[in-house]
Amino acid sequence: MTLLRQVISAPVAHAVVLSRSCLAVSVTPRRKLSVSSSSRAPRVDANVLLGMSEQELQKLAVDLGQSFRNDLQEAGWTVGRLPIFRTVTAADGTVKLLIKLEDNRLIETVGIPVEDEKGPMRLTACVSSQVGCPLRCSFCATGKGGFSRNLSSHEIVGQVLAIEEIFKHRVTNVVFMGMGEPMLNLKSVLEAHRCLNKDVQIGQRMITISTVGVPNTIKKLASYKLQSTLAISLHAPNQKLRESIVPSAKSYPLEAIMKDCRDYFQETSRRVSFEYALLAGVNDQVEHAVELAELLHEWGRGHHVNLIPFNPIEGSDYQRPYKKAVLAFAAALESHKITTSIRQTRGLDASAACGQLRNEFQKSPLRIDSSTSSSESDIAVAS
């Protein structure tokens, strides 16, 4: 599957799915493309671009006339999706992609397949919203790689299409938990959300937007009344500890975040999920769990906590907690009537931590002369 997009006049506005292998991306350019039709060709709206395989594009060019591609290029359209620079496959089936952008920067996206004995396979795409991240959470590999820019909506949607092409299977779930802080790029994230929901036909309830917390953005998101899940990366039960893990917490106190989450629930009737990365000896003690439960009960009901055992990264002083400590933390939360889940660790042998693979290859733009020979490489990770 490829993504055909306009790169000089307007952003992607919305897409219309023709089939799972053919995506029609509709935009509103400043100038329209005049395409001559043939007797065999269906009517094509000048504002619609088609994303499909190279073979399908060639067939379409024949149907519409041999000058089709030339007309597109002369009008400023670019054909083809962003190339995959690296593919790393873990023993558990998780696939992490490095996708190369037009400015030769790299972003990560991850495909996580889950086989379900009671139904069809679920395929989750974990997508990035920025090139790097400016918030620099102390345990996060992405922050260590620096920040470059926000992603556009088509660069976000393209990640999902790339995962579908790799797996030859439709993506069922999308989580904005890759590189970057989605709330610092909310405009593009909402545009991509609309496209993924309306046009790629992924249900809103199958989409999760994660944030470490950016002042005023949770209120703004609530105003859209999405049925998607809001996940707050909390990582600590009190302000002092949170500031040591998440430096940006200094500008957005825990009390303010919890108030905004309570207001979000009242506005949308959607339960807020709390992400909690367990760091051995830092925030993984039973007393931390009890304090967290008290905090959540203070600010409302119906909260859910997703525990995430730390994925080790190079150069970090943090350690992954023992399974016993993780289970004890979960049990303490549940004993205080907090719904709790433990995220299954996937892709540890594929540089699973967010930003980890990207940092192995790039902290500055790739040189153009080296990108061609390096692209499309595939690394199989042995079990």
* Enzyme catalytic residues: 108, 354
Q: Which two tokens stand for residue 368?
A: 């153009």
φ, ψ at 26 (rounded to 5°): -100, 130
Phi/psi region, residue 62 (left: phi>0; alpha: psi -120 to 50; beta: rest), is alpha
Contacts of 301 (CB under 8 A, 6+ apart): none
Contact assessment for residue 248 and residue 212, using Cβ atoms and an 8 Å cutoff: yes
CB-hemisphere CA count at 13 Å for 33? Answer: 27
Residue with tokens 């009344």: 225
Helix%, strand%, coil% for the chain, nearest 5: 35, 25, 40
Cβ–Cβ under 8 Å, residues 99 and 82: yes
CB atoms within 10 A of CB 330: 18
Rounded CA separation 180/188 (Å)? 12
**What one-character DSSP code corresponds to residue 43?**
P
On the CB side of 204, how many CA atoms lie within 13 Å of its CA?
11
3-state SS string for 287-316? HHHHHHHHHHHHCCCCCEEEEEECCCCCCC
Interatomic CA distance for residues 314 and 106, integer angstroms: 19
Helix (H, G, I), strand (E, B) or coil at 14: strand
User: Is the CA virtual torsion 327, 211, 216, 173 positive or negative?
Assistant: negative
CA distances from 7 to 29, 66, 105 (A): 10, 22, 17
Residue 76: closest CA among 146, 160, 6: 6
